[in-house]
Amino acid sequence: MDVTDEDEVVRFYAKDAGGGKISELLLVIGGNDNTLISIRGLIDPENIGKITGTLNIEVNTGDSGEKEKK
């Protein structure tokens, strides 16, 4: 999933743990400053959706290339 702001792109990469859960989440943030964040553990994808929803940002899920305002 890609999240794009004016001068910054955040890419989410996830490792499937089965049962609809994620075992590792990698966030790559590019812009004026670059950042790499690795989160390990049993993660529920619905919690990630709640976080992006509160940020009021455009989310590109990669399915159709269209951006959806969250």
Cα-only R_g, the chain = 12
Spans of all domains in the chain: 2-69
- Output the pLDDT for position 70: 43
**Separation of alpha carbons 52 and 58, rounded Å:** 9
- Output the pLDDT for position 7: 86
More confident residue, 1 or 32: 32
* pTM flag (> 0.85): no
- Output the pLDDT for position 61: 57
Say which residue the tokens 């899920």 belong to. 61
Dump pLDDT digits (tens) for 23-64. Answer: 998 989 898 889 898 989 998 888 776 766 665 656 565 555
User: Distance between terminal CA atoms of the chain?
Assistant: 13
**Are 9 and 27 within 8 A, CB to CB?**
no
- Output the pLDDT for position 23: 94
